């Protein structure tokens, strides 16, 4: 859809990236399986360039199944264009690699998703790129950390596990004043709860695996840019990396995405209900959820986001390992596992203490991350309540 038709998000979700009239009236974009694409003539073959948007030249460069998904994500996030890759982690790696060279310095939020950190501390380090972690709540003071060789600022808001909100407009203003690009992991918000380019971001990354797909059955990543120039910069990197997401996965992502708005409304509402219940519990020290009025990031969340997803954490009062195991091993509805964003609820213990370097995480209680799925929240509360009871019997 063209940006000239400023329809509501719910409407755009239903219609973005669909060309039914081109495909015999079929509602959903068809799945084109391809490696080789045949050309009718030498002239056509010679015209084929992988960098021409929408041009079908070779399976790895994409088929209409992927292009239509990319069109939809770009429309929803409000960017110039999108490139889809085979996982969220691949999106992060390719987005960062597109902008760095040996000798560069990059600024990365201390609250970032762990695999991003792993990329910086191993691969980037090996190639002479220095990563400096910064306090996620730094805001405009990021200006003091920018050097002449700073290539990019990496943001993630709210942060993985600990959910600090970042002042993205303040960070973007400071970075742009020095000609530095701002890249954001926007996965928590999905493509619809935060408009990253209106906040000043240059490149927005999504782990489509989470809410875009929404059904816990596909790995997918997206990189959306504000400008055509940035899209081409990222595209060159992806071509070098040889990443190619399969058409079946793109199809499932398209299908999952159509219900994103209604799913997120429920994730938001049920998540807050569970979060508010946790606030009343003696087993709980703190709830980390930016949509709660007392959360330190609440004002920024309210200013920059149009809703909350279903992912947040809480800090438990100190418990012994056997107690924790007795609670977690016997949950009836909450599954234990990595990832999130599907229709089902998940519970995951973690400890950010050893991960942080720029800031200190000194809550001496286990951090529990919850993904509140589409079950009735009262049943989820009952499941957590029974779990807290089991702490006493271990
Ligand atoms: C899961 C996740 C990713 C990585 O996505 P994958 O598809 O699992 O590779 C990136 N960023 C955040 C914030 C995530 O939660």
281 has a pLDDT exceeding 80: yes
- Which pLDDT score is estimated for 1? 46
Which domains can be identified in the chain, with CATH numbers? 9-257 (3.40.640.10), 260-390 (3.90.1150.10)
Q: How far is CA 108 from CA 21, 131, 132, 355, 357, in A?
A: 45, 7, 6, 13, 11
156: Cβ contacts below 8 Å, ≥ 6 apart: 109, 111, 112, 113, 116, 136, 166, 184, 185, 187, 188
Ligand 1 pocket, residue 243 CB under 6 Å: no
Phi, psi of 214 (to 5 degrees): 75, 0
Q: Per the structure block, which two tokens stand in for 304? A: 């920059």
The answer to whether 80 touches 204, Cβ cutoff 8 Å, is no
50-61 burial code (b ≥16 CB/10 A, e <16): eeeeeebbebeb
Residue 4 pLDDT exceeds 70 = no
Question: Among 84, 120, 203, 209, which residue has the most ligand 1 atoms within 8 Å of its CB, making it the best to mutate?
Answer: 209
Label residue 393 by pLDDT band (50, 70, 90). confident
How many Å apart are CA 121 and CA 127, to the nearest integer?
11
User: CA distances (Å), 85 to each of 40, 98, 256, 351, in order?
Assistant: 29, 14, 17, 30
Active site residue 210: yes
What's the confidence (pLDDT) of residue 275?
98
Q: Residue 151 gets which letter from DSSP?
A: E
Would you state the pLDDT for residue 47? 85
Task: Give the 3-state secondary structure of residue 342.
Answer: coil
Whether the predicted pLDDT of 40 surpasses 70: yes
**pLDDT value at 50 more than 60:** no
- In 5-60, beta strands by DSSP E: none
Rounded-to-integer distance, Cα 140 and Cα 143, Å: 6
Q: What is the per-residue pLDDT for 51?
A: 55
For 127-181, write each residue's pLDDT tens digit.
Answer: 999 999 999 999 999 999 999 999 999 999 999 999 999 999 999 999 999 999 9
Give the mean pLDDT of 327-345.
97
261/289 Cα distance (integer angstroms): 20
Burial environment of residue 3 by CB neighbours within 10 A (0 to 12, 13 to 18, 19 or more) = exposed
Residues 294-320: tens digit of each pLDDT: 999 999 999 999 999 999 999 999 999
For 248-275, write each residue's pLDDT tens digit: 999 999 999 999 999 999 999 999 999 9
What's the whole-model pTM score? 0.96
162 Cβ closer than 6 Å to some ligand 1 atom: no
Digit-coded pLDDT (tens) for 74-116: 999 999 999 999 999 999 999 999 999 999 999 999 999 999 9
- Tell me the CA–centroid distance for residue 312 and ligand 1, in Å: 15
Q: 5 pLDDT band (50/70/90 cuts)?
A: low
Nearest residue to 352 via CA among 113, 153, 119, 106? 113
321-329 vs 377-391: helix crossing angle, rounded to 10 = 150
Task: State pLDDT tens for residues 184-229.
Answer: 999 999 999 999 999 999 999 999 999 999 999 999 999 999 999 9
Q: Which atom of ligand 1 is nearest to the CA of 210?
A: 1
How is residue 80 annotated by DSSP? S
DSSP letter for 52, please: S
Residue 391 sits at φ, ψ, to 5 deg, of: -60, -30
| Amino acid 54: pLDDT | 77
| Residue 286 pLDDT > 50 | yes
Q: Which of 159, 313, 339 most suits a substitution to test ligand 1, by most atoms within 8 Å of the C-beta?
A: 339
185 included as an active-site residue? yes
Residues 275, 111, 339, 353, CA torsion sign:
negative
How far is 390 from 392, CA to CA, in rounded Å? 5
Q: Tell me which of 116, 187, 188 to substitute to probe ligand 1's pocket, judged by most ligand atoms within 8 Å of the beta carbon.
A: 187
DSSP state of 267: H
* Mean of pLDDT values over 23-44: 94
Please give the distance, rounded to the nearest whole angstrom, from the Cα atom of residue 94 to the centre of ligand 1: 13
Q: Calculate mean pLDDT across residues 226-242.
A: 97
Q: What is the DSSP string of 162-185?
A: T-----HHHHHHHHHHTT-EEEEE
Q: Find out whether 125 and 158 touch, Cβ atoms under 8 Å.
A: no
């Amino acid at each position: 859809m063209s940006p000239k038709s400023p329809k509501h998000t719910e409407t755009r979700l239903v219609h973005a990236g669909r060309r039914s009239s081109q495909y015999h009236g079929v509602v959903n974009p068809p799945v084109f399986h391809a490696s080789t694409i045949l050309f009718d003539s030498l002239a056509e073959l010679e015209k084929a360039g992988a960098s021409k948007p929408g041009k079908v030249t070779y399976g790895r460069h994409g088929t209409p199944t992927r292009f239509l998904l990319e069109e939809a994500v770009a429309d929803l996030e409000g960017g110039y264009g999108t490139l889809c890759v085979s996982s969220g982690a691949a999106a992060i790696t390719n987005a960062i690699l597109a902008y760095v060279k040996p000798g560069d310095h990059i600024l990365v939020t201390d609250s970032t998703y762990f695999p991003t950190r792993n990329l910086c501390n191993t691969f980037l380090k090996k190639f002479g790129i220095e990563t400096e972690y910064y306090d996620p709540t730094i805001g405009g003071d990021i200006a003091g950390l920018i050097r002449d060789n700073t290539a990019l600022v990496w943001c993630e808001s709210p942060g993985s596990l600990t959910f600090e909100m970042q002042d993205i407009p303040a960070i973007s203003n400071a970075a742009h004043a020095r000609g530095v690009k701002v890249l954001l992991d926007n996965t928590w918000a999905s493509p619809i709860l935060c408009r990253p380019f209106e906040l000043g971001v240059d490149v927005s990354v999504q782990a489509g695996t989470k809410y875009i797909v929404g059904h816990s059955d596909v790995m997918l990543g997206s990189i959306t840019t504000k400008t055509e120039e940035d899209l081409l910069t990222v595209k060159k990197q992806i071509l070098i990396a040889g990443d190619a997401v399969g058409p079946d996965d793109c199809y499932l992502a398209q299908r999952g995405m159509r219900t994103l708005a209604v799913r997120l409304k429920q994730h938001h509402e049920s998540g807050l209900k569970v979060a508010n219940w946790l606030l009343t519990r003696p087993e709980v020290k703190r709830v980390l959820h930016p949509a709660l009025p007392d959360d330190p990031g609440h004002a920024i969340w309210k200013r920059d986001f149009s809703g909350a997803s279903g992912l947040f954490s809480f800090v438990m009062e100190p418990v012994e390992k056997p107690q924790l195991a007795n609670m977690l091993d016997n949950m009836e509805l909450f599954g234990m596992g990595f990832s999130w964003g599907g229709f089902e609820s998940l519970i995951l213990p973690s400890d950010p203490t050893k991960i942080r370097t720029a800031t200190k995480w000194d809550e001496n209680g286990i951090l529990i991350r919850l993904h509140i799925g589409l079950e009735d929240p009262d049943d989820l509360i009952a499941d957590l309540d029974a779990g807290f009871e089991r702490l006493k019997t271990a």
